[in-house]
A and B are shown apart, each in its own frame.
Chain A
Amino acid sequence: MPAEQSDQDGQLQIARDRRLARRMLRGDQRAIKAFCDEYLPKLFRFALSRLPTEQDADDVVQVVLTNAARRMETYRGEAPLLGWLYQICRREISKHLGAAERHGTVVSFQQDAATESAVALATAPAADEPEAVSGTDQFAAQVHAALDQLPANYARALEMKYVDGYSSKEIAQRMKLADAAVQSLLARGRRAFRRLYDAADFDLETPDGDRAEVPRRCR
């Protein structure tokens, strides 16, 4: 059943993305705002986790947005819009790092594990790409990447509950939902987060050295 639910969620998301893309192509400003609110922070994090500096991520996001706008009419809604944006972003990261290397603006790759990993990631074929850099940053990046792939309300609820420490009642107030609805939302969010771990074959080690494995039953 969870797998079926996941498929249904995926199909709904794709259908929503397809409608969103069509509306943006028609110049619908509300659709553009909805797209930006949902996807720009995710895109930024995706780029930031693969590039040496925030300035690099900023530059890349801007280029990605130009390309996405230009290619929006080619988006057929066969996959989620986020994945489509990540694909464009990967290519731009690769170009950005390649250009930086040619101009000598990238330094001390060997001393920066995250950057080194990012270069390896950006230059690797897409299918072989690991989804994050290494070390402390790797752990956070992977968790954040998983959250970014969840529906926005799932990720927000999980973050409020487990990162910010709000109670479910407080979350209900902030999200303008009933307490029972928040409980249900969190339950669905945990399952979805778990499925992403399964798909990525997560076997995390926290920076403290603790094994943070997802329970085997849930895999």
Chain B
Amino acid sequence: MTDRETPHDRVSDVEEERRLAGILSQAGSRTAPSEAQLERWVGHFRASLADARAEKRRRWQIRAAGIAASISAVVAVLFMMQAPDLPVAVGVAQVQVVFGGNSVGGAQGTQRSLVSGERLNAGDRLRTGLRGGLGIRYRGADVRIGRDTEVIVHTTRLELVSGVVYVDTGGLGAAQTDVVVATRLGSVTHLGTQYVVQLDSDRLVSAVREGQIIFRSEQHKRQLSADASTAGEIRVAKDGSVTESRKPRSGEQWDWAVEISPGISLTGRSPDEVLIWAARESGRTLKYVDEKAADVAREGRLAGTDTKIPSPQVLVAVEASTRLRFLPSDSATLLVGLGKR
């Protein structure tokens, strides 16, 4: 292409070559750096490039560490959200009370007899016997599992397969966290403190005797409250229909839970403190006959055993060690006055 020349071009090129020769010879040779200079610069450039590569690697490592930390955080959040479906061995609950024996738990296929103090992992399936019961600490709440009940423990919910559970999120030292009881007919979430959920083959019954609960199913969302004297109850039939009613705050529906109570240690507590606890255990409200009785209850301190004892024994212990006495009252009230010296 470019090397093909016409006769005119050749004449011009000769002229051009003569002129270029003049320019280039006048300018002389290009100055060159010395060998020593070149050697020094090459060494310097190699070292600088190596430094730059090391710096780049370091930046990537920092970036990778940041990304890894972010991914870990996201995975942790996703795990918290999705864990109910993952049978991963993560301690999410602890057995507090094993009542009546024959209660087993653990991952499906590796069930074992449960003992008090044992940790429960996400995905563990708990089964109580016909005469047994379990009390567990779950998300800061006191959860009691009635007889002949099957529950799967997940990170963010308890899956009630069948039977009955009682949840108290307002007891001593309780963290006010959500505890969701999920069933095939819908889920129950507390907005208050004490509620039960019972699932039979053909219905779901949930009652709240302190605070509020929300029932959710595909068709319904109902909020149910307790009041000073009655519990709210919701019944969900197999066909999904929902009915609400008022019920007593104590009775057979609740009494079974008292048997599985984790109990309370009396030492160092005031009578008032343990009486409030005992009243709640039975679904009652503590009332004092007068201020004198209230003062005695609030100012005194109990001593004795560190063993946790259930609510019926608590009342016996308080009467035996103080002037406080339990007086006849309605079923929703634990009435306390002062006895004679």
* A24 pairs with B12, CB closer than 8 A: no
Q: What total of chain B residues lie within 8 Å of the partner, measured CB to CB?
A: 39
Question: For the complex, is A207 an interface residue (Cβ under 8 Å from B)?
Answer: yes
A163 touches B45 (CB 8 A): no
Q: In the bound complex, do residue A207 and residue B26 qualify as a contact, i.e. CB atoms below 8 Å apart?
A: yes
The answer to the question of A147 belonging to the interface, with a C-beta cut-off of 8 Å to chain B, is: yes
Contact B24 A58 (CB under 8 A): no
**Inter-chain contacts of B30 with A (CB < 8 A):** 41, 45, 144, 147-148, 159
Interface residues of B in 12-46 (CB under 8 A from A): 12-13, 15-17, 19-33, 37-38, 40-42, 44-46
Contact B49 A32 (CB under 8 A): yes
B residues within 8 A CB of A158? 20, 24
A177 adjacent to chain B (CB < 8 Å): no
- Flag B35-61 by CB within 8 Å of A: 1 or 0 each: 001101110111011111101100000
In the complex, B239 has a CB within 8 A of chain A: no
Secondary structure class of chain B's binding surface, majority of residues: helix
Residues of A within 8 A of B28 (CB): 140, 163
Report B-chain residues with C-beta under 8 Å of the C-beta of A218.
12, 16
- A188-202: CB near B (< 8 Å → 1, else 0) gives 101101100000000
CA distance A7 to B51 in the complex (A): 36
Partner of A215 from B3, B19, B45 at Cβ < 8 Å: B19
Bound complex: CA A52 to CA B32 (Å): 16
Is B320's CB within 8 Å of the partner chain A? no
How many angstroms between the C-alpha atoms of A72 and B38 in the bound complex?
20
Say which one of A59-67, A86-94, A111-119, A122-130 lies at the interface with B.
Answer: A59-67
Q: In the bound complex, do residue B21 and residue A33 qualify as a contact, i.e. CB atoms below 8 Å apart?
A: no
Would you give the shortest CB distance from A118 to chain B, in whole angstroms?
15
Inter-chain contact B31/A72, CB cutoff 8 Å: no
A206 touches B20 (CB 8 A): no
Q: Are B48 and A70 in contact (CB under 8 A)?
A: yes
Chain A, 25-74, CB within 8 A of any chain B CB: 25, 27, 29, 32-33, 35-36, 40-41, 44-45, 48, 58, 61-62, 65-66, 68-70, 72-73
CA distance A148 to B41 in the complex (A): 19
- Is A217 an interface residue, CB under 8 A from the partner? yes
**Cβ-based interface call for B78 (8 A):** no
Q: Does A143 contact B (CB under 8 A)?
A: yes
| A143 and B56 in contact, given A44-B33, A66-B44, A206-B22 (Cβ under 8 angstroms) | no
Q: How far is the CA of A72 from the CA of B48 in the complex (A)?
A: 10
Which A residues between 159 and 201 are near B, CB-CB below 8 angstroms?
Answer: 159, 161-164, 184, 187-188, 190-191, 193-194
Q: Which of A58, A159, A208, A215 contacts B15 (CB 8 A)?
A: A215
Chain B positions within 8 Å of A70 at CB level: 48, 51-52, 55
On whether the beta carbons of B2 and A62 are closer than 8 Å, the reply is: no
14 more A-B contacts (CB under 8 A) besides A72-B49, A143-B27?
Answer: A35-B45, A41-B32, A65-B45, A139-B26, A143-B24, A158-B20, A187-B3, A188-B2, A190-B13, A190-B17, A210-B22, A212-B26, A215-B19, A217-B16
A contact set with B: CB distance below 8 Å? 1-2, 5, 24-25, 27, 29, 32-33, 35-36, 40-41, 44-45, 48, 58, 61-62, 65-66, 68-70, 72-73, 139-140, 142-144, 147-148, 158-159, 161-164, 184, 187-188, 190-191, 193-194, 204, 206-208, 210, 212-215, 217-218
24 A-B contacts, Cβ less than 8 Å apart?
A5-B1, A25-B49, A36-B41, A41-B30, A41-B38, A62-B41, A65-B41, A70-B48, A70-B55, A139-B26, A142-B27, A158-B20, A159-B24, A162-B23, A187-B13, A190-B17, A191-B2, A194-B16, A215-B15, A215-B19, A217-B12, A217-B16, A218-B12, A218-B16
Residues on B lying within 8 angstroms of A by beta carbon are: 1-3, 12-13, 15-17, 19-33, 37-38, 40-42, 44-46, 48-53, 55-56
